[in-house]
Structure 1
Amino acid sequence: MFISLSLVLLLVLIPISLYSLNFLSRKNTTTTTGLANSGNTRKLPPGSSGWSFIRETVDYIRAGQNGIPEKYFFERVRRYSSQAFRTSLFGESVIVIGGTASGNKFLFSNENKILETWYPKSISQIFPSIENRGNQGSPKRLRKLYPQLLNPDSLRNYIGIMDSRTARYFESHWDKEVNTNEKIIITTVYPLVKKQSFSLTCFLISSIDYQHEPHRVHELYKLFCDVHKGIISLPMNFPGTQFNRACKSSKLIRKEMENVFRQRMIRIQSHADVPMQDMLSRLITLCEEDGGLDETFIVDALTGLIFGASASTGDVITLVMRYLADFPDVYDQVLKEQMAVACSKGTGELLNWNDFQKMKYSWNVVREVMRVATPVPIGFKMASTDFWYDGYFVPKGWKLCMSSASTHKNPDYFPDPEKFDPSRFQGDGPAPYTFIPFGGGPSLCPGKEFVRLVILVFLHHVVRRYKWDRALPSSDDEEHEKLVFQPFPRLTKGLPIHIWHHERR
């Protein structure tokens, strides 16, 4: 059987880099495990530990490479006959609780009570300010300010900009090629939508404009791509590794965000014209009202906003285009809905907030895409105190794992879970805590509405302009397109398509 390079690296390098971490983890839980075995007073969930962390991590990555990360969790639920179980992932002792509606509810409702946010070492090393701040001060302030920055009232100001700039993007990047050919192949949709969503995000957040500074946006895009790849790589900080490039790129991003903030403050203090509509200006105003400006805080917020808003948006749009190609009847309904919205507008009139309330079916399609290909398949928290869950003891300091992927593929919540069916979201939709692509509770993604608007604006333009089909069919053959999770979902070929204007066919 062919073993990919990533699996070889896992087998060879993980034992060296993570043995000490795993040893300390086992050492810290020896007393608890001993109590569990004597009198059964503190019984840990069933599962594996010790050197099994190598096998467990490889099994999880292999399931993701096969496009079924949920399989890892389903197999262990059956093996241990328990929805809560113990395992080891990426060198950490982990107790899996999420994956069911009750488990997800427990994790979300106990955030900041008996649970706290935890970041894998790869993230805390790429973004050192996360680790240096701990869980005090700045994170709490960010949780307070982000919702004010990204609430519907604030986002209304950006809809017209999203609409006009997305239309201009299609005119300058897609129409030019499509107009010269009756039928063409765009080799990879993914880079096109990724760059578009990134450049739009940069402009809305900090007014960095691709039209005037294409080189600056391009360089930032490459840096953020390096960080994105590094977060999901082995935390080996050696020259030439993805992780090393991510650490270097993170430092360069921080310097650029510092320059953006300082230049903005110079313009404000000199009473020069400033782009009052972008999020940076709004963030500065909110910070002044909330206790004063702090450059470190603003830089962290800017970096988080750009990364969070652009990291998965391009992935989701690419997958939406894939499923619209695979299901022509779904495409036709989306087109009908978007044409109705367009026909209700006057000549040259831009989209507004009310128009998005008319895009219910389109958003149901996006939600079904996020169900079958969950943007973030797993998440982690940490126990801030000892507690009990479902008859099992969870020691302080242990990591808790939530599996969105297995929740979304649970047949108890979604009958025939492999079937693509946007009608699942009609009416009241799924039961609470069963559809969680944006998390929940205090950790609910504050950018949820921002992402929704960006995706729907893109859909509004692309379906009214074009029809497309896939250039490569789905297949187990490596030469064909496959959906994989590494650990985020992506199409191995980036979605090559044939595309044409409606009137051309």
Structure 2
Amino acid sequence: MEFLLEHLLYLFLAVAAHAYLVVLRCIRHRYPQPPLPPGSFGWPILGETLVIQRLNRSGDPFAFVRQRRQRYNRDIFKTSLLGEKTVVLCGSEGNKLMFTGEKRLLLTWWPPSLKKLFGDAFFTAPYEKAIHTRKLITSFLNQELAIPEEFNVLLKGMFQLPIYFLGTRHYKAVKSAASLRRELIKVIESKRRSGTMNESLSEDLISHLMKGRDENGKMLSDEEIADNVILVMDAGHNTSSSTMMMLIKYLARMEIELQRRPREPLNKDDIQKMTYSWNVVDEVLRLTPPIQGNFRKAIVDFPYAGFSIPKDWKEAEYFPNPEKFDPLRLERDIPIPYIYFARIEILVFLYNLVREFRWELMFPDEVIAVEPMPTSSKGLPIYLYPHTSS
């Protein structure tokens, strides 16, 4: 009897599921929705992650997007990256939607694989908590942090398939993140025991976060503090250093005119006047950005470019002759407050480098791979020559 009832239950569920699908199909037929974007999800589990990684390492990181825009649609296509089904938006309209649809259509989101590396830091935390923690961090600019070898291992495993097997980059990155987190928690506990938290508030980021509170007035946990310090190490070190490396590469091809003047330290007014120098930096960022794109999660179904997006830059029309390095194309003054510190760091480096030296690339055709940021395959060695004093 029990056996019969169990089978009747399965039969009932099957009939109910079939009826639901029939009704759903009728509704969709009567009220058609825009189709999903064209594209391919690639192999099960793997998706197209290995394809984009191979192209990134080849020195042509934009080949993946370029090929799929030519094959499917120039504005939008679907794919699967890092184990997640993804829609890629391209062009100026796509970027506008990404940055203006926050909280209305989209939320900042990163793949779960990164949660294992950065924990509950602000770019994997809920939106409101992330905004509050970001304010805590950006209100304090600390001295440069030492970058241990563990951190470099973590970086190389950031955008890898989330396959947690011994020997994979993801496995090594998770282990390195855990090791960094343990070391930082030791520092936090030491500060708390010694009572140096209040004394060093103005001197380091850890003490600053130990005094901070979340949107509910609750102090951050040791794990949250450690996660945010690791995140700041990533954001503060690699985007700027990658940009500086590419500056050296591109400027090695240019004839640079120098206007010699007495040796004086740069001040704030000098940096504000370095508009052409920042145009050069902007052009480097256009050609080889340190980050290839941002993730967002759709919070409602909405149409875009004639396709449905379900819930849960190098264009000739925008930049004539887009592959050419031309700083004058970006001659403008658009203040962006949150890049002010990076701007100072890069411009001071550029000023002193150009003023004191000329250089040549040892390997002019050296491949620049993306792992996950632009990385020179041989370390970008150069011949460095001091300017002869006049």
Fold-level similarity (TM above 0.5) = yes
**CA offsets per residue over residues 249-297 of structure 1, 9 Å max, x none?**
11121122223333334454687x5362444444455549983532333
Tell me which amino acid in the other structure corresponds to 1:70.
F
Tell me which amino acid in the other structure corresponds to 1:291.
G
Aligned runs of 1:4-403 on 2, under 5 Å? 38=29, 41-49=32-40, 51=42, 56-97=48-89, 99-129=90-120, 134-135=125-126, 138-149=129-140, 201-202=144-145, 217=146, 220-268=147-195, 273-274=199-200, 276-284=202-210, 286-287=212-213, 291-296=217-222, 297-329=224-256, 332=257, 335-336=258-259, 343=263, 345=264, 350-397=265-312
Q: Is the contact made by 1:257 and 1:299 (CA closer than 8 Å) also made in structure 2?
A: yes
With over 3 angstroms needed to count, the CA separation of the structure-2 counterparts of 1:134 and 1:145, relative to structure 1, is: closer
**CA offsets per residue over residues 289-310 of structure 1, 9 Å max, x none?**
9835323333232222122101
Q: Which residue of 2 aligns with 1:470?
A: 361
Q: Is the contact made by 2:212 and 2:220 (CA closer than 8 Å) also made in structure 1?
A: no
Q: Is the contact made by 1:226 and 1:245 (CA closer than 8 Å) also made in structure 2?
A: yes
Q: CA deviation at 1:73?
A: 2.3
Structure 2: how far apart are the matches of 1:107 and 1:310? 25
Structure 2: how far apart are the matches of 1:86 and 1:378? 15
Q: CA deviation at 1:81?
A: 4.1
Q: CA deviation at 1:393?
A: 1.9
Structure 1 or 2, whichever has the larger Rg, is 2
**Count of equivalent residues:** 367
Tell me which amino acid in the other structure corresponds to 1:83.
D
User: Given the two structures, how large is their TM-score scaled by the length of structure 1?
Assistant: 0.64
Q: Is the contact made by 2:155 and 2:372 (CA closer than 8 Å) also made in structure 1?
A: no
**CA offsets per residue over residues 342-398 of structure 1, 9 Å max, x none?**
74x4xxxx543323212222221111111111111122111122222233222111x
Q: CA deviation at 1:51?
A: 4.4
Structure 2: how far apart are the matches of 1:123 and 1:419? 35
Tell me which amino acid in the other structure corresponds to 1:71.
A
Larger helix proportion of the pair: 1
**CA offsets per residue over residues 416-436 of structure 1, 9 Å max, x none?**
01000111121358xx9xxxx
Structure 2: how far apart are the matches of 1:78 and 1:383? 25
Q: CA deviation at 1:223?
A: 1.2
Structure 2: how far apart are the matches of 1:266 and 1:486? 39
With over 3 angstroms needed to count, the CA separation of the structure-2 counterparts of 1:38 and 1:70, relative to structure 1, is: farther
Structure 2: how far apart are the matches of 1:86 and 1:42? 17
With over 3 angstroms needed to count, the CA separation of the structure-2 counterparts of 1:461 and 1:265, relative to structure 1, is: farther
Q: CA deviation at 1:49?
A: 3.8
Tell me which amino acid in the other structure corresponds to 1:120.
P
With over 3 angstroms needed to count, the CA separation of the structure-2 counterparts of 1:65 and 1:269, relative to structure 1, is: closer
With over 3 angstroms needed to count, the CA separation of the structure-2 counterparts of 1:136 and 1:86, relative to structure 1, is: closer
Q: CA deviation at 1:463?
A: 2.4
Q: Is the contact made by 2:41 and 2:47 (CA closer than 8 Å) also made in structure 1?
A: no
Q: Is the contact made by 1:383 and 1:396 (CA closer than 8 Å) also made in structure 2?
A: yes
**CA offsets per residue over residues 54-78 of structure 1, 9 Å max, x none?**
5744443343233333333233333
Q: Is the contact made by 2:118 and 2:230 (CA closer than 8 Å) also made in structure 1?
A: no
**CA offsets per residue over residues 24-45 of structure 1, 9 Å max, x none?**
xxxxxx99x9689845711234
Tell me which amino acid in the other structure corresponds to 2:88.
V
Structure 1: how far apart are the matches of 2:378 and 2:193? 45
Q: Kindly, what percent of the aligned residue pairs are identical?
A: 31
Structure number with the bigger relative contact order (C-alpha 8 A, sep ≥ 6) is: 1
User: Given the two structures, how large is their TM-score scaled by the length of structure 2?
Assistant: 0.81
Structure 2: gaps (5+ residues): 1-20
Structure 2: how far apart are the matches of 1:233 and 1:282? 32
With over 3 angstroms needed to count, the CA separation of the structure-2 counterparts of 1:449 and 1:267, relative to structure 1, is: farther
Q: Is the contact made by 2:48 and 2:80 (CA closer than 8 Å) also made in structure 1?
A: yes
Structure 2: how far apart are the matches of 1:61 and 1:68? 10
Q: CA deviation at 1:112?
A: 2.1
CA RMSD of aligned residues (A): 3.4
Structure 1: how far apart are the matches of 2:59 and 2:119? 32
With over 3 angstroms needed to count, the CA separation of the structure-2 counterparts of 1:309 and 1:41, relative to structure 1, is: same
Q: Does 2:387 align with 1:461?
A: no
Tell me which amino acid in the other structure corresponds to 2:168.
T
Q: Does 2:343 align with 1:452?
A: yes
Q: Which residue of 2 aligns with 1:488?
A: 373
With over 3 angstroms needed to count, the CA separation of the structure-2 counterparts of 1:319 and 1:309, relative to structure 1, is: same
Q: Is the contact made by 1:268 and 1:274 (CA closer than 8 Å) also made in structure 2?
A: no
